[in-house]
Amino acid sequence: MLKAVYSGIPGSYAEEAALAFFPAGTPLLQASSFGDACKKLAEGEADRVVLPVENSTTGAIAEVYDLLSRYGFFIVGEQYVRIEHCLMALPGADLSQIREVASHEQGISQSAEFLGNYPDWVRRPVYNTAAAAQMVAQSGSPHMAAIASRRAAEYYGLSILAGNINQKAENYTRFIIAAREPEFEENSRKISLLFTLPHTVGSLCRVLRLFEEAGMNLVKIESRPMADRNWEYLFFLDFVTDRPDSPEKLFEHVRECTQTFRFLGRYPHKEPGK
């Protein structure tokens, strides 16, 4: 059976992504960083790595794509996880006892409206929402609360004092699943790639039109300046296509009008909430 590795601890949103994506019973390993997770895949300790790429507390798409390129990995799937922050404390503790609240700083930031009702609570930022839940569980103190996911509360045996306290009702983090080799499942409609271009609108639009003419819809574009090269920009793009044929011919044309080009993978397209 395949083994998967994610960066984080049990109860984290990364673990939720892995649980949602893989069949029940898939062994899940933990890693202490994105780089460590990729190392475990490279060395064969795991067969899949789960990494956040969008709207995440720590996920910088550039860092993740850089790791994929460095290791030569390919994206084989994606998974959206709904971010629903809850306030949790030891069983039996109630709201009036809380004096301190721990969470990732984005958990604190995203729950600002709710926390506005409790201006006296000390805010304690920690590196991960699940780590905050773990800390509260280990503290044994009824005066401490954590902001983390419902799953983190379950995992660390905490009671939920208030559910869904983040401002935005709909907030998703996108995770990608990568492997050492590319996979071509049926129904693989999404394609991720990166290329570099001299940064003129003309050259960008020329490349985008090539994809459009090939029936591929742009669903994500992100640029990043390359620190060591003047006027050269790195683009990360996702497309969705309904054509089953391989886009090799298209990629040849794209290679001609880009400076460097890398195919990152073709995989089934998912939507948030599914």
List residues near a second copy by CB under 8 A.
7, 32-36, 39, 54-58, 60, 62-63, 104-106, 108-110, 112, 123, 125-128, 131, 170-172, 199-202, 204-205, 208-209, 211-212, 217-225, 227-228, 233, 272
Q: Which is nearer to a second copy, 137 or 147 (CB)?
A: 147
Residue 175 bears catalytic tag:
yes
- The bridge status of strand 190-198 relative to strand 232-241 is antiparallel
Q: Which is nearer to a second copy, 124 or 180 (CB)?
A: 124
Spatial distance between the Cα atoms of 221 and 233, rounded to a whole number of angstroms: 12
Q: Residue 141 CB, nearest distance to a second copy (Å)?
A: 20
Q: Which is nearer to a second copy, 95 or 218 (CB)?
A: 218
Spatial distance between the Cα atoms of 8 and 149, rounded to a whole number of angstroms: 14
Q: Residue 227 CB, nearest distance to a second copy (Å)?
A: 4
Identified catalytic residue from 175, 235, 236, 239: 175
Q: Residue 91 CB, nearest distance to a second copy (Å)?
A: 26
Residue 26 bears catalytic tag:
no
Identified catalytic residue from 173, 196, 241, 258: 173
Q: Residue 169 CB, nearest distance to a second copy (Å)?
A: 8
Q: Which is nearer to a second copy, 159 or 208 (CB)?
A: 208
Determine contact, residues 57/104, Cβ cutoff 8 Å.
yes
Catalytic residues: 173, 175
